[in-house]
Amino acid sequence: MTYVYLLAAILCEVAGTAALQASEQFTRPKPLLLTAIGYSAALYFLSMTLRTMPVGIAYAIWSGLGVVMIAVIGIVWFGQRLDSPAIMGLGMIVAGVAIINLFSNTVSH
C-alpha cells in the first residue's frame, strides 16, 4: 500500500498545482478550491506513505515525479515550452527516482 499512497499523493499534488495555474493568481474560485483540496489530499496521502517509507526517500520520489508530471501538463495543457537544459534536467530527476527505487536498500521492495 505504500506505493499506492505515494502515487495518490503525487497525483493529488499535481492536480492541485495544475489547478493553481488555472486559478490565474487566485482570481478564479473553482480552481482555487481544487488547489486546496488537491494539496490537502496530497499531504494526507504523503503522511500515510511515511508510515513505512523514510521521509527523505518519500519526499524525493513525491517531489521529483510531481515536478516532471506538472512540466508535462504545462506543455500539453497550458502550452508552455521547455528548452533543452530543462528537458535534460527533468530527465535527470526521472533517472534519480529510478536509481532510488531500483538500487537503494532504503526502499523496501
Task: Give the span between the Cα atoms of 79 and 5, in whole angstroms.
Answer: 30
Contact call for residues 15 and 34 (beta carbons, < 8 A): yes
Reported as a single tens digit per residue, the pLDDT across 52-104 is 999 989 999 999 999 999 999 999 999 999 999 999 999 999 999 889 888 88
Contact call for residues 57 and 6 (beta carbons, < 8 A): no
pTM: 0.85
How many other CB atoms sit within 10 Å of the CB of residue 10?
23
